[in-house]
């Protein structure tokens, strides 16, 4: 199929974009893209491609923007229930950490998730997956982390595998049994950390080899924060995960800086996420490393907190910056990458072009998939979206409505 007459075809060609390179859209005016067998075969001006492929089925983009599907590299997609009550408390002045300390927060969702049958978990996550697709996300990372026992965390991995199998949203799994200290270990968190390292991580690897043979192992992630795991515990878990062959991610510096960003660099993590309270030295260390800095502007927005990731400082220092939703029931129930872009243009001071690159090719790098996702280049997966706008800058500029008209996943229209 030849998709033609895009007012602007954004290819995002040329690989992940570092520092001030961010925002290289590879824009082709009156552009076209040839899709065959689920892959991109060619991109170029409409006139050139129509002449070169005269017998191809045509799809007229009608003067709209065509670009790669969004990659959302940080979501907590699978959970049961909601925390609307906690949101109301926050509007009345209670803080997220106060609510968490009183047994709400992540542990409230852990209780609901442990009780839910697998089918219920899948059904609730499926609804969100379709909302993500309708908002232009074609691939998302998905974390466990609301089970916090060996069995319930594997059940969450199972839900992610089943949803990925079912499609069309492609899911890249992350094992986040270190999301919080489970209620059973509140008085002795270190015992849980030890169990995670000696029993749970090796068991996950084995489980994966029988349930998803041949597929790359999930990432392993840790919530490195005073209200969850300290720096030494985070290091212990991530070092063990690395020994076992897992790729690494970390939740660092969301509320306080414990040194998680620097730890990510030291261990060669694929990404370090949140980075709101990150000190300048750690920004510098991150920016010269291969670790992608993932900013999650829905989280401070969702908590009505004034501080956001210092994205300009990360770019000035030459870092790799990506954007994600952080979709979760506590701080950021948001499935929309267009909304993330709108926030990033305001609070992270990104231009629309920078935010688009951070939400596509760099987001693919944040899940280790920039070689096959995140841009429209020959040989890459045909994951693309059509925006019902004439100019890419409407992303960012407009917010609160959905600009996405059509979504193609692996060469098939799914929205």
Q: Which ranges in 304-375 belong to alpha helices (H)? A: 311-316, 337-347, 352-358, 361-365
Task: Tell me, by CB under 6 A, how many residues bind ligand NIG.
Answer: 13
Minimal distance, residue 269 CB to ligand NIG, in Å: 15
Which of ligand NIG, Fe ion, none binds 109 (CB below 5-8 Å, type-dependent)?
ligand NIG
* Residue 391 marked in a binding site: no
The whole-angstrom separation of Cα 237 and Cα 258 is: 15
What is the footprint of ligand NIG within residues 168-207 (CB under 6 A)? none
Question: Is the Cβ–Cβ distance between 348 and 314 less than 8 Å?
Answer: no
Minimal distance, residue 89 CB to Fe ion, in Å: 20
The whole-angstrom separation of Cα 34 and Cα 48 is: 11
Provide φ and ψ at 120, rounded to 5°. -65, -45
Which of Fe ion, ligand NIG, none binds 106 (CB below 5-8 Å, type-dependent)?
ligand NIG
- Residue 197 gets which letter from DSSP? I
Task: Specify the residue, 168 or 329, whose C-beta has the smaller distance to ligand NIG.
Answer: 329
Task: Specify the residue, 252 or 408, whose C-beta has the smaller distance to Fe ion.
Answer: 252
* Residue 20 marked in a binding site: no
Q: How remote is the C-alpha of 318 from its chain's centroid? A: 21
The whole-angstrom separation of Cα 58 and Cα 36 is: 12
Answer for which of 26, 69, 218, 330 binds ligand NIG (CB under 6 A) is 330
Tokens 């000190």 label which residue? 279
Question: Is the Cβ–Cβ distance between 61 and 46 less than 8 Å?
Answer: no
Task: Specify the residue, 228 or 408, whose C-beta has the smaller distance to Fe ion.
Answer: 228
Which of Fe ion, ligand NIG, none binds 124 (CB below 5-8 Å, type-dependent)?
none
* Residue 394 marked in a binding site: no
Task: Specify the residue, 3 or 296, whose C-beta has the smaller distance to ligand NIG.
Answer: 296
- Residue with the CB atom nearest ligand NIG in the bound state: 330
What is the footprint of ligand NIG within residues 251-310 (CB under 6 A)? 251, 254, 299
**CA neighbor of 26 nearest in space, from 380, 292, 309:** 380
Question: Is the Cβ–Cβ distance between 322 and 362 less than 8 Å?
Answer: yes
Does 326 contact ligand NIG by CB under 6 A?
A: yes
Does 329 contact ligand NIG by CB under 6 A?
A: yes
Which of Fe ion, ligand NIG, none binds 152 (CB below 5-8 Å, type-dependent)?
none
Task: Count the Cβ atoms, other than its own, within 10 Å of residue 162.
Answer: 16
The whole-angstrom separation of Cα 163 and Cα 118 is: 11
Does 326 contact Fe ion by CB under 5 A?
A: yes
* Residue 4 marked in a binding site: no
Within 149-260, strands assigned E span: 170-178, 219-224, 247-252
Token pair for residue 135? 């908002």
* Interaction mask 52-91, ligand NIG, x per CB under 6 A: ------------------------x---------------
* Residue 330 marked in a binding site: yes
Does 137 contact ligand NIG by CB under 6 A?
A: no
User: Taking the C-alpha atoms of 200, 202, 203 and 207 in order, what is their torsion angle to the nearest 10 degrees?
Assistant: 140
* Interaction mask 85-124, ligand NIG, x per CB under 6 A: --------------------xx--x---------------
E strand or H helix that includes residue 328: none
Question: What is the contact surface with Fe ion in residues (CB under 5 A)?
Answer: 326
Question: What is the contact surface with ligand NIG in residues (CB under 6 A)?
Answer: 76, 105-106, 109, 223, 251, 254, 299, 326, 328-331
Q: Binding site for Fe(3+): residue ranges?
A: 74, 76, 251, 326
């Amino acid at each position: 199929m030849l998709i033609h007459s895009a007012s602007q075809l954004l290819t995002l060609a040329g690989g992940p974009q570092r520092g001030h390179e961010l925002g290289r859209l590879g824009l082709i005016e009156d552009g076209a893209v040839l899709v065959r067998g689920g892959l991109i075969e060619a991109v170029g001006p409409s006139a050139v491609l129509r002449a070169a492929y005269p017998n191809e089925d045509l799809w007229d983009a009608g003067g709209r923007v065509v670009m790669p599907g969004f990659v959302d590299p940080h979501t907590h997609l699978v959970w049961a229930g909601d925390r609307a009550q906690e949101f109301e408390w926050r509007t009345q002045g209670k803080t997220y950490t106060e609510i968490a300390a009183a047994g709400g927060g992540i542990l409230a969702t852990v209780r609901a998730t442990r009780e839910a049958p697998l089918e219920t978990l899948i059904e609730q996550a499926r609804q969100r997956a379709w909302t993500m697709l309708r908002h232009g996300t074609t691939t998302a990372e998905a974390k466990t982390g609301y089970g916090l026992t060996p069995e319930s965390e594997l059940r969450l991995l199972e839900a992610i595998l089943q949803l990925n199998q079912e499609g069309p949203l492609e899911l890249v799994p992350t094992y986040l049994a270190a999301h919080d200290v489970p209620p059973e270990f509140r008085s002795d968190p270190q015992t849980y950390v030890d169990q995670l390292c000696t029993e749970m991580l090796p068991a996950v690897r084995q489980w994966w080899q029988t349930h998803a043979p041949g597929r790359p192992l999930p990432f392993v992630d840790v919530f490195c924060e005073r209200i969850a795991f300290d720096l030494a515990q985070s290091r212990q878990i991530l070092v063990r995960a690395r020994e076992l062959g897992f790729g690494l991610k970390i939740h660092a510096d969301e509320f306080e800086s414990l040194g998680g960003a620097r730890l990510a660099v030291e261990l060669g993590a694929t990404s370090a996420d949140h980075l709101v309270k990150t000190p300048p030295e750690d920004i510098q260390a991150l920016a010269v490393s291969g670790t992608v800095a993932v900013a999650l502007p829905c989280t401070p927005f969702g908590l009505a907190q004034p501080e956001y990731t210092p994205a300009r400082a990360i770019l000035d220092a030459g870092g790799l910056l990506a954007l994600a939703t952080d979709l979760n029931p506590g701080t950021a129930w948001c499935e929309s990458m267009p909304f993330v872009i709108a926030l990033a243009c305001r609070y992270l001071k990104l231009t629309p072009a920078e935010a688009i690159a951070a939400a596509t090719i760099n987001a693919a790098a944040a899940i280790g998939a920039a070689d096959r996702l995140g841009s429209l280049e020959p040989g890459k997966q045909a994951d693309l979206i059509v925006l019902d706008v004439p100019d890419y800058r409407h992303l960012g500029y407009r917010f609160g409505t959905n600009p996405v008209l059509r979504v193609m996943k692996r060469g098939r229209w799914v929205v």
